[in-house]
Structure 1
Amino acid sequence: MCLGIPGEIVQILPDRPDLAKVDVSGVRRAINIGLLDGEHLAPGDWILIHVGFALSKIDEEEAKAALAFLEGIGQAYADEMAALRDSTIEKG
């Protein structure tokens, strides 16, 4: 099962404006935000992430509700978080 996971933008990388450092339940990773070109994004904003890409900007209330749901479904969420922890985006 593949899930979209909410994450909070911590930093837009200055040398790579298509990447943002994002916190997802305590795991911080570089996420590609290029699909949201034209959307104003800044630290503190929430995005929906799937396989290392931001799919949409969401509000904090929606993000917290989604996280609560995902944590409640158990193993699929644990698997997705493990994949996120093990993933990296190469700076290039």
Structure 2
Amino acid sequence: MPTATIDVAGQVRQCCTAYVPEVSVGDYVLIQNGFAMSVLSEEDALLSLQAIQENNLLPATPDDDRRGDQNQG
């Protein structure tokens, strides 16, 4: 399966691009369960990302947990 390395609000992940063969480096994509489902305009992507951040919808990464532990001590 074709994959790409993507940046989701600073979190680097792997994503399958089989559903969007037209995707290019620098494009914004809608991701669901590790699959790019569609290519978004920059405006739509930035609005979506803003809503995701405002509602804390990005899951924490192991790095986030370690930083939190260090800040508490």
When the two chains are superposed, the root-mean-square deviation of aligned CA atoms in Å is: 1.7
The number of residue pairs the alignment matches comes to 62
Give % identity. Answer: 29
Q: Which amino acid aligns with 1:25?
A: A
Work out which structure has the larger RCO, using CA pairs closer than 8 Å and 6 or more positions apart in sequence.
Answer: 1
Q: Give structure 1 stretches of 5+ with no counterpart.
A: 1-15, 87-92
- Runs of 4+ displaced beyond 4 Å: none
Q: Give structure 2 stretches of 5+ with no counterpart.
A: 63-73
TM-score by length of 2: 0.74
Q: Which amino acid aligns with 2:39?
A: K
User: For 1:29 and 1:73, how far apart are their aligned partners in 2?
Assistant: 21
Of structures 1 and 2, the larger Rg is shown by 2
- C-alpha displacement of 1:36: 1.5
